[in-house]
Amino acid sequence: MRVLIALGGNAMTGPGGDATPQAQREAITLAMRHVATVVASGHEVVLTHGNGPQVGNLLVKNELAAQVVPPVPLDWCGAQTQGTIGFTMLDALEQALAAVGAPRPVAALVSRTLVAADDPAFANATKPIGRFLPQDQARSMIEHGETWEDRGEKGWRRVVASPEPLEVLETGTLLTLVDAGYVVVAAGGGGIPVVRAADGSVHGVEAVIDKDLTAAVLARAIGADALVIATDVENAVLGYGTPDARPVGRVSVAEMEAYAAAGHFTSGSMGPKVEAALRFVRDGGRRSVITALDRIADALGGEVGTIIENPSASTEPATERLLP
């Protein structure tokens, strides 16, 4: 099977969100051991990952050093975190693959994700990023053209557009590498958001893309048999955090849509994972699984995690136009 695995923030930082380089390396090393188990069991694996905490840290550096070095835009922050996370994953993945006797060549792609210039998200920034600041500091960032919102007691927070991912522009390159036997890391942080100008050129924009939604797009574009969303809980849960909490196991698209519509999945955390899992299967993919990182190998074989399946699905890529 060809499998796209989307790794959440918990796979990239230490306990409690510890983002020291040491903690990040340790978390990624652990994650790559789980990924290597999947590869060793015979699956073709493509990886993607989140970058929220890492971009948050870069933004703090931007703010604190603004008088000394020019702040860089959000698309640059995305590219930088794809670089550092990708590099760290490659080292750890190579070692983990060798340790399970399944050596493979590995690669990480700096990846751009196309969004529509007229996506309504650009007129209505909703995605909070970075740290909270007191009002006077937020004011000065607003004067630099950013959008900040009063979030009450915690202070002010920057909000940015989170447009819909349309297409990962590196899909063709990715398929070339997969066909050559590589385990590839791509579209980290949902991909660097870019828009296409009338003359066909693309350029980065100040936005963030949900990594789970991009994972669904990418999984279809590469003809993946399964989309695996690896996070820190074993299942999506109904009535999460209430005494009536009930994990969702195997579920139909219609049932999961109804649970989502009833508000069971928090926006910004479980919500986009459920939406991505639904989109992949609705769009013709065979199987989506949401589960904990340490269950990903088991999840591909059996009844682990939250599984949305479409037994009649084809695994042909959703589109041929991306192929080189």
- Residues of the shown chain interacting with Mg ion in the complex, contacts defined by CB under 5 A: 9
Q: Rounded distance, CA 9 to CA 23, Å?
A: 12
Identify which of residues 163 and 305 has a Cβ nearer to ligand ADP in the complex.
Answer: 305
73 alpha carbon, distance to own chain's centre: 20
Told to judge if 62 belongs to the known catalytic residues of this protein, a careful annotator would answer no
Told to judge if 127 belongs to the known catalytic residues of this protein, a careful annotator would answer yes
Binding range to ligand ADP, per CB under 6 A, among 83-91, 93-101, 190-198, 227-235: 227-235
Binding range to ligand ADP, per CB under 6 A, among 5-13, 57-65, 84-92, 147-155: 5-13
Q: Rounded distance, CA 312 to CA 324, Å?
A: 28
Told to judge if 271 belongs to the known catalytic residues of this protein, a careful annotator would answer no
Identify which of residues 14 and 284 has a Cβ nearer to Mg ion in the complex.
Answer: 14
3-class SS at 277? helix
Task: Say which DSSP state 100 is in.
Answer: T
Residue with tokens 């042909």: 316
111 binds ligand ADP (CB under 6 A): no
Q: Using CB under 6 A, which residues numbered 178 to 207 contact ligand ADP?
A: none
Judging by DSSP bridges, how do beta strands 2-7 and 250-251 pair with one another? Answer: unpaired
163 binds ligand ADP (CB under 6 A): no
Helices (H), the chain: 21-40, 52-64, 74-99, 135-143, 171-179, 211-221, 253-261, 270-282, 296-301
Identify which of residues 48 and 171 has a Cβ nearer to ligand ADP in the complex.
Answer: 48
Q: So which residues are the catalytic ones?
A: 9-10, 127, 211, 273
Q: Could you list the residues that contact ligand ADP (CB under 6 A)? A: 8-10, 50, 231-233, 236-237, 240, 264-266, 269-270
